Amino acid sequence: MQRFENSDPAKRAAGYAAVDEHVVDGTCIGLGTGSTAYWAIERVGQRIAAGERICAVATSSETQELCRRLHIPLVELLAEPIAVAIDGADEVAPDWSLTKGGGGALFREKAVALCAKRYVVVVTKSKLVEALGTFPLPVEIVPYAMAYVRREIRRRSGDLPIVRREIEGQPFVTDNGNWIFDCHFGRIDDPPRLDATLREILGVVATGLFFNIASEVLVGSADGRVLSLTASAPN
């Protein structure tokens, strides 16, 4: 994982605030993946260096690498109760439904989120949307079933753009050995329904739709202030 030295200071503010407000000495936490979660990980490393006892469950190989560099002890999922998980998001709707998976770690991020007692989302204002769907929805799939999954998504949702994620012309491979489709559904007004529709397709491992999971959403600003959002009722 690269160091985000010149990243938006709003991300740093949100990541640091999440750790300072929610992480307690002597607990196990979940640590997300990406440019905002990076700052939460860095803050945890600082607190461990100062003598606190904190262990973590990482949501990706990149996060594992950073944790090792910062001497953050790692444990397997549910080896210890997860008091809080902290992660970013690609989109946050008013009801705190999320689109995640831009970094490709959606399956592990969702597993950690579901296992945590609290799930704190850290973002900047640019991630706040009226409804999900501006960001293409990541869908993790089994490579063998690629053609079938593509056909079944289109059969259920129409002839929408479905792009296999690639790096330098080769399929992007998740930490689970799977591929990702980035699906352009447009406005998503019913995330639970779309998630259920996609997951019933053989070969779909997980979607980047997170709903009824977040405990708090912290929004960082460039001036260092952090706002805690209030969730609205789903439409």
Q: What pLDDT score does 8 carry?
A: 85
Given 42, 62, 109, 216, the catalytic residue: 109
pLDDT at 199 over 80: yes
Residue 62 is a catalytic residue: no
Q: How far is CA 73 from CA 15, 18, 67, 92, in A?
A: 19, 19, 7, 30
pLDDT value at residue 115: 98
pLDDT at 1 over 60: no
The overall average pLDDT reported for the chain is 95
pLDDT, tens digit, for every residue of 138-183? 999 999 999 999 999 999 998 999 999 999 999 999 999 999 999 9
Angle in degrees, 0-180, between the axes of helices 191-199 and 146-157, rounded to the nearest 10: 140
pLDDT category of residue 233 using cuts at 50, 70 and 90: low
Query: Rounded distance, CA 189 to CA 196, Å?
Result: 14
Q: Is residue 24 pLDDT above 70, yes or no?
A: yes
Q: Which domains, and CATH codes, for the chain?
A: 9-130+211-228 (3.40.50.1360), 137-208 (3.30.70.260)
Global pTM reads 0.94
Please list, in sequence order, all residues whose beta carbon lies within 8 angstroms of the beta carbon of residue 109, skipping any fewer than 6 positions away: 32, 33, 59, 60, 87, 100, 101
Q: What was the pLDDT predicted at 234? A: 60
CA distance 163 to 138: 10
Task: Tell me the C-alpha distance between 30 and 109, whole Å.
Answer: 9
Tens-place pLDDT, residues 72-83: 999 999 999 999
